[in-house]
Structure 1
């Protein structure tokens, strides 16, 4: 008997679910809780603690306790402990293993297959790191799917007709927003945007600073320098945040928090919802940009949304809910549990992939999940231009090919420079891979035909290949383990694309105009060399004069060209195109 589980591997809490009796059900852990804290700790005797038991001892064992590890996935971060340095994948695997064991205890047999969710804006390296964590935990990861997509999948099975929904997912460490179309058995992501460094942890940190600053003013002691005291305040901040979602004020009471010159010092502070909203107003506002971006990319207005789904525990904050109402003009749905729906959606996708179809009540009997890639993928071409192969928000899996040629005569190899980002120039985007295609047949510039193919699988893992169509030589790489774009860089890439759009377009135009003019100049000079003796004196003189004019204008660096320079080069190229037309045609006919 086989069972496929769905896992929401969260920054703050994780959850596991499976499909039984035609519905996705959350599995309670060994402690009887429906979610498991994403915390790992090591006792002084080397014992590993995961979940609630790890969180409970954090204040007394702060140096050996690790939380919010998800924020380090796909980086070179290490947790140094005793004689070992743990990667984020290894610590995440400990959480995944506990979830797996809790599920096995529930079903009564071994479980291997799983679908694991990630933030929509996780890059290739972070996705691969998540798959690696699953493998370390002994799981066969059938699919990595985006958290908002999983939430829409959980919602879509129970909510009637076709509609477009927005999933606003504010979790412990990340924020995603996706616009998703739900049809008859089809869940299609239209667009996604997000902020990979915005979540409940940031709200907690504002309360921590507020409490610590107040304690410093009152007692002259900065408790942030004491790891144990700092952890106690952090736990109290998280509790206060949750309480302020249902009451207007709460009291943070931490006796014996520090030691002063006259004895023990205690914290007793009243925190109001109003004060909390003031200190976190900018965090809530940071969700505005991604919401507008996702709607714009999807090509719809907020009024066209059938529903807005709130996902992630941080969406319980009243100010967040009010902001969503303001942005969309809609009352968010309360039909799904924000803490559990992602795991439930993953379980549904896992059941579909495994072919079990354990009584799922779908209108079409099948579920088709169509996700997207969050950023554009390009290669660098002549003039430093980033030539798009796959646009952002392209439905996955995706395979796109484009034929290029050589820039110099008699090249026997080309370098394929793979980029990720939204800027038109290669230098402004993120390099995610490099490789060389060798063995190209020697030929004049522009003759070889090099086919470059980008292939992204359903997990968002990219493979790039280049093939010389003349010799059939081929080279490829899988973009899984080279340096990747960080979450901050992704956000900055999109902001830069908007801020510098006009300047970028001008630079791109300069390179395009120059490339066209250079190609025409090469053709004209080649034609003169080939058939010059067949041309009359005046024709040859005109071609040489126009070629000289183009050559002079090309001497100016592209980044220093303005509109007048570009227009002058265009005019000179047009003149050369006319004067050399007969010569180029004659040369072409004699080849």
Structure 2
């Protein structure tokens, strides 16, 4: 390859996908076991071995407390948030606070794991899959996130990429990436497209204007706590209620039973996208605490019952779509095409919602599981090649402002403002002889400052000691195309200025991140050494078998040749060394391999001269 390869990654709640561009066309990269979808699951076996992806998901039922799934729903969140408290009731693994700001972490065997570490393990698996597919090291990637992610969640995702050994070229929104995949090969002459993205854990809707390589987002909205997992939970609750009604005991205290119920719920939900009814059979689900009898679960779930259980969740997505259309200033009938992204959009009830809102059939032109990764790969390729054929104009999903007197939020940049963007406002002091001004930078839609997320703060000091209202302070916000926010404050009379670049807190301090990155590098080097030693061992075994088979047949010929006894003694010594190589100093395998290779080549040459096949 002329340039270092780039990849695009869709880091999903349930599954993740990696893609690249080959000969100008985006392609998904299969895992080393042949699948294009990698479960976003990290597990630890009883002996502490780390398992990632499909192998981790397969053992979840027998190892529920040490199998971490759905990390995307936790990334960039505080432990004390109401959302995390609700998740704790459902997740089988233990959540604990950690770090300087008490972000949520997972505890396994007394060890606290940050969410970027967990997501980083999945990203590393995808990177290794890409390296196996491309045959070269891969370091540069574009990673996607839900459009409605906060800055903290975006920064935590970027940290996860760094932990995975990636240079994160850019974090882009999932609907925007899907729009890129949709636009490939189409002669776009102007049109409005809605990207409806309902995945395992999040929902996004973006409205775009698309024309000849320009993808301009006009509005975006979403819910980072709405996805297929929530529908699964409704099915689980229904199954538990049915079980309690039949047997009089509650299985919710049994983590293994609950994991079986979760898996069965997801399977049944997927089947009902194509069937009208499905059976749920879970033998020996629970043991009666009094009698010791084995209790089974046998139920029939219809599509109608599933829709009754989940209709309010789907309608919630519909309300969000209507808000995005209103923000974009367009009517549903003005949308030319609807792109469905995310596995949950296969559900007939979801498709019915889309038809009802937009009055037309959604596009079938993109793969709902792969579109986001393919679009990310296209964007990564464009960045690496400095292509001017592709222009993304995205928006900021949340309003940005500062706290003002009375605890109110003064918005400088409203949500759905196209980035890059710049805005400023002049504030005045609120007290006589005020010596400093504290500017608290906020993200969110609430008028009350306390209800929004604090991104950072800066202090302008010393101010002139004059009466209140006489000192004018100009606050300016600048957002780059990468979504990096810079804030400056300037005393308009004296020119005194302070500025900061907001680095949203993703849960890890710089020191923690560096320490984790170094530890993961050390692990990767150790793993590579183990793999190398294993390959050396296998090569020695194969050559030793061959040498032991050939040398007895070639012995007399070697003695009779010009090489004589010295060559025979050397060959026999090589075979002896190979049998005992594990007792020899480090570095010995290379010398042993070379000796074995020479021995085998000598035997083959001697036998070939005599017309004997090896």
Query: When the two structures are superposed, what TM-score results if normalisation uses the length of structure 1?
Result: 0.78
Distance 1:428 1:55 in 2: 37
What is aligned with 2:119?
92
Q: 1:428 to 1:243 in 2, by over 3 A?
A: closer
Cα shift readout 1:283-315 (whole Å, capped 9, x = no counterpart): 111112111110000000000001011110000
Equivalent residue for 1:35?
A: 37
Instruction: Supply the distance in 1 between the matched residues of 2:28 and 2:505 (Cα, whole angstroms).
Output: 36
Match of 1:113 among 128, 140, 145: 140
Residue in 2 that maps onto 1:152: 179
For 1:336, which of 360, 366, 369 is the aligned residue? 366
Q: Which moved more, 1:438-447 or 1:281-290?
A: 438-447
Q: Is the 8 A contact 2:427 2:472 kept in 1?
A: yes
Contact residue 490 and residue 498 of structure 2 kept, 8 A: yes
Tell me the distance in 1 between the aligned counterparts of 2:39 and 2:408. 46
Question: Structure 1 residues 445, 262: CA separation in 2 closer, same or farther (over 3 Å shift)?
Answer: closer
* Contact 1:432/1:483 (8 A) holds in 2: no
Cα distance in 2 for partners of 1:432, 1:481 equals 6
Among 171, 174, 180, the alignment partner of 2:202 is 174
- 1:435 equivalent in structure 2: 458
TM-score of the aligned structures, taking structure 2 as reference length: 0.75
- Matches of 1:146 and 1:182, distance apart in 2: 16
For residue 495 of structure 2, give the secondary structure of its aligned residue in structure 1.
coil
| Residue correspondence of structure 1 range 38-57 to structure 2 within 5 A | 38-57=40-59
Displacement after TM superposition at 1:196 (Å):
1.0
Residues in 2 aligned to 1:96 and 1:262: alpha-carbon distance in whole angstroms? 44
Q: Is the 8 A contact 2:154 2:506 kept in 1?
A: no
CA distance in 2, matches of 1:326, 1:273: 19
Counterpart Cα distance in 2 of 1:423 and 1:135? 33
- CA distance in 2 between counterparts of 1:192 and 1:112 reads 30
- The Cα of 1:389 is off from its aligned counterpart by 1.1
In the alignment, which residue of structure 1 is the partner of 2:151? 124
In 1: Cα distance, 2:292 partner to 2:429 partner: 79
> Equivalent residue of 2:396, what SS?
coil
Q: Does 1:64 align with 2:92?
A: no
Q: Secondary structure at the match of 2:417?
A: coil
The residue aligned with 2:232 is 204
1:134 counterpart (161, 164, 179): 161
Alignment-derived partner of residue 503 in structure 2: 480
| Contact residue 153 and residue 506 of structure 2 kept, 8 A | no
In the other structure, the counterpart of 1:565 is: none
**CA RMSD of superposed structures (Å):** 1.8
Provide the residue aligned with 1:232 in structure 2: 260
* Structure 2 unaligned blocks of 5 or more: 78-102, 508-614
Distance 1:326 1:245 in 2: 18
Aligned length: 477
Aligned to 1:406: 429
In 2, the alpha carbon distance for the partners of 1:428 and 1:17 equals: 39
Alignment deviations for residues 292-340 of structure 1 (CA, whole Å, 9 cap, x no partner): 1100000000000010111100000001100111111111111100100
Shift of 1:257: 1.5
Native 8 Å contact 1:380 1:418 kept in 2? yes
Which residue does the alignment assign to 2:336?
306
Matched residue, 2:486: 463
Q: Shift of residue 382 of structure 1?
A: 4.2
Cα offset, 1:347, TM superposition: 0.6
What secondary structure, in the 3-state scheme, does the structure 2 residue paired with 1:7 have? strand
Give yes or no for contact 1:124–1:461 (8 Å, CA) kept in 2: no
Q: Matches of 2:236 and 2:256 in 1, distance apart?
A: 13
* Cα separation, partners in 2 of 1:385 and 1:64, compared to 1, 3 Å: closer
* 1:464–1:477 CA contact under 8 A, matched in 2: yes
Could you say if the C-alpha distance between residues 368 and 224 of structure 1 is closer, same or farther in structure 2, counting changes exceeding 3 Å?
Answer: same
| 2:585 counterpart residue number | none
Cα distance change, pair 251–385 in 1 and its aligned pair in 2 (3 A): closer
Q: Verify the 8 A CA contact 2:15 2:38 in the aligned structure 1.
A: yes
Show the counterpart of 1:515. none
Gaps of 5+ in 1: 358-364, 485-591
